[in-house]
Amino acid sequence: MENRSLRTIGLVGCLVWLFFSFFPLYWVFVTAFKPPLAVSQGATYIPFVDFQPTLQAFRDAFSGIRGDFFGPIVASISISVMATALSVFLGAMAAYSLVRFEFRIRLMSGLMFGVISIGGFVLLNSTFDIDVPYALLIVLVLALIVSIWMNRYRLPGPVLGNNDVTFWFVSQRMFPPIVSAFALFLLYAEVGRAGFPLLDSYLGMVLAYTAFGLPFAVWLMRDFFSTVPIEVEEAAQVDNIGRMRIFIQIVLPMSLPGLLATSMIVLAFIWNEFLFALLLTSGDWQTLPILLAGQQSSRGDEWWAISVAALIAIIPMVVIAAILGRMMRSGLLSGSIK
């Protein structure tokens, strides 16, 4: 009797949670098909009962009455797909290195990298009046060479290992987004003055979102690669196959479920990102979150038009979530997610 009561309470709780989770999606969906009068005169819930559905809001959106809809859709798709592909590929390489190789990074060499970078940049920019992009490029290359050279010696201080490097990747997402977004805006502006426009450009957005998604990819792919048997790679090395070929032809195919899952998660984060798109774009490459935030008119909030934009932005992520859930239920990702 007690177990039955607990099951009933659990079922009721799940139904309440399901209602609160899905009702906003349902409300956006039905509002997108409402005529303006059905929205402004009060709450209406059921199509064909409380109101007559119409596609007028969709026609207004795609006809250009409320601005360009196709541009942000194309920009979101192209930027998100390319940035996700780069993030997952580079993150997979970094994660594989963290699983299969042992890193010993002396903290003193890392501190020296920071000192040379900051001090050299100030010196070149203020004393020698070298433009910001060129000064930054020079000091970063010089600091990297010096720090790698110094890391070969027994320097005082702690030695950082693979777990510390992994934590460094993940810690990049601990900073408030406005800090990195504003710094990136200033850097892009300086690079633009030097003749390489990155603000409101495809390349600039892809680079920013690649850096945005890279920590997630490294963090997730490290766990996936740790499940790949090392004996397979050792057998390939016996046949004199190089590391890069092993990684591309053996490890990546064996980790395909992990690559798919990681790609979907990273794509979801990039697709929904707002702050970088707000600061780094002004028109040509604005994404769907910016379009959604700008759906206002002189007459106030037109919720039917806002719901159309929200529905367009939501549907791809709902499809991706459904595919990922189906993969997990079917066992395609079993053995890959810890």
Q: pLDDT-based confidence at 178, cuts 50/70/90? A: confident
Please give the Cα distance from 162 to 222 (Å, whole number): 11
Alpha carbon distances (Å) from 234 to 99, 189, 312:
14, 48, 48
Rg (the chain; Cα; Å): 25
The structural domains of the chain, with segments of one domain joined by +, span: 37-103+161-329, 105-160
Q: Cα dihedral angle (212, 214, 219, 225), rounded to 10 degrees?
A: 160
Please give the Cα distance from 158 to 179 (Å, whole number): 29
Tokens of 220: 């997730």
Q: pLDDT-based confidence at 6, cuts 50/70/90? A: confident
Does the pLDDT at position 294 exceed 80? no
Q: pLDDT-based confidence at 333, cuts 50/70/90? A: low
Does the pLDDT at position 296 exceed 70? no
Give percent of the chain above pLDDT 90.
28
Over range 197-216, report the average pLDDT: 93
Tell how strand 105-106 and strand 159-160 pair up: antiparallel
Average pLDDT, the chain: 85
Residue 65 in 3-state DSSP? coil
Please give the Cα distance from 258 to 220 (Å, whole number): 8
pLDDT (tens digit per residue) in 220-246: 899 888 888 888 888 888 888 888 888
Does the pLDDT at position 264 exceed 90? no
pLDDT, position 297: 56
pLDDT, position 338: 41
Q: pLDDT-based confidence at 329, cuts 50/70/90? A: low
Report pTM. Answer: 0.84
Q: pLDDT-based confidence at 25, cuts 50/70/90? A: confident
CA atoms within 13 A on the CB side of 63: 8
Please give the Cα distance from 45 to 52 (Å, whole number): 11
> Which range has the top average pLDDT, 62-76, 100-114, 315-329?
100-114
- 135 contacts 127 by C-beta, under 8 angstroms: no
Please give the Cα distance from 106 to 100 (Å, whole number): 19
Architecture of the domain defined by 37-103+161-329: Orthogonal Bundle (1.10)
Please give the Cα distance from 139 to 130 (Å, whole number): 11
Q: pLDDT-based confidence at 335, cuts 50/70/90? A: very low
Does the pLDDT at position 3 exceed 80? no
Q: What is the DSSP string of 261-313?
A: HHHHHHHHHHHH--HHHHHH-SSTT--HHHHHHT--BTTB--HHHHHHHHHHH
Q: Other C-beta atoms within 10 Å of 148: how many? A: 12
Q: Other C-beta atoms within 10 Å of 220: how many? A: 23
Q: pLDDT-based confidence at 1, cuts 50/70/90? A: low
Tokens of 20: 């609160």
- 219 contacts 265 by C-beta, under 8 angstroms: no
DSSP state of 255: T
> Which range has the top average pLDDT, 67-76, 92-101, 299-308?
92-101
In our burial notation (b when 16+ CB lie closer than 10 A, e otherwise), range 296-327 reads: eeeeeebbbbbbbbbbbbbebeeebeeebeeb
Residues 6+ apart with CB under 8 A from 70: 62
